[in-house]
Amino acid sequence: MTEAKKRILVVEDEEDILALLHFNLIKAGFSADCAENGEEALAQIAAKSPDLILLDLMLPGIGGLEVCRRLRSGESGSEIPIIMLTACGEEEDVVRGLELGADDYMTKPFSIKVLLARIQTVLRRKSFLQQETDAEELIRAALSIHPGRNLVQVEGRPVELTFTEFKVLEVLARKPGWVFTRYQLVNAVRGEDYIVTDRAVDVQIAGLRKKLGRCGHYIETVRGVGYRFQEGA
Ligand code: CA
């Protein structure tokens, strides 16, 4: 079965890098579009809704960080994965970009092979997060989660969770051992009409652990990254 080609938007003002990326993406089986500045990037994203964006940070006009900020704070395209392309010495921008919701980054000069591997990883993660909610019951040791019924039980006793707590728990418990960033968790529980910030995720997790009682420790903090559901729980 052939899958539709994933469409990647390359945003880069250095022509030789742009050409190199375009060539290699096509060769690797992607469909690739190019933009040479931030304005063009935003227009292309709105018009073509790519599956992933390779985003140079130092661009003429609207810079990469601003493109990232507008995407993540905005309407269309807010969930498209972004891999930043950065130059040496842009560490602060990298941190800022990750805080703004970029998924990953590569420092120039980079290996095409490594970049392609990261693209695959980011796309896989994205498709996992997009998977429709499976109504099947999840059993994790003393904890059982019934997505279809919005019901959680600890050692057979029902636990009252808010919608957000439930979604966060479900996302984590579906993939024990997988680390989720706060951004990914925020993304996964979107759809409610209130904004969930990074800080709010920490608050949700704290509340969730408390309500889960003896199972609270199943949710582990991964310092500097996010959270994961204990492997083997
Ligand atoms: Ca540049």
Q: What residues sit around ligand 1, an ion, with C-beta below 5 angstroms?
A: 13, 56, 58
Question: If you measure from the C-alpha of residue 31 to the centroid of ligand 1, how many angstroms do you get, rounded to a whole number?
Answer: 22
Q: Per residue of the chain (233 residues), give pLDDT as tens.
A: 456 799 999 999 999 999 999 999 999 999 999 999 999 999 999 888 899 999 999 999 999 999 999 988 875 667 899 999 998 788 889 988 988 889 899 999 999 999 999 999 899 887 766 664 455 788 888 999 988 777 899 999 999 888 788 889 999 998 999 999 888 888 777 654 455 677 878 988 999 999 999 999 999 999 988 999 998 87
Domains of the chain listed by start with CATH number:
7-130 (3.40.50.2300), 138-229 (1.10.10.10)
Question: If you measure from the C-alpha of residue 120 to the centroid of ligand 1, how many angstroms do you get, rounded to a whole number?
Answer: 23
Whole-number Å distance between alpha carbons of 124 and 173: 18
Question: If you measure from the C-alpha of residue 47 to the centroid of ligand 1, how many angstroms do you get, rounded to a whole number?
Answer: 23
Question: If you measure from the C-alpha of residue 232 to the centroid of ligand 1, how many angstroms do you get, rounded to a whole number?
Answer: 45
Question: If you measure from the C-alpha of residue 233 to the centroid of ligand 1, how many angstroms do you get, rounded to a whole number?
Answer: 46
Q: The tokens of 210 are what?
A: 């408390």
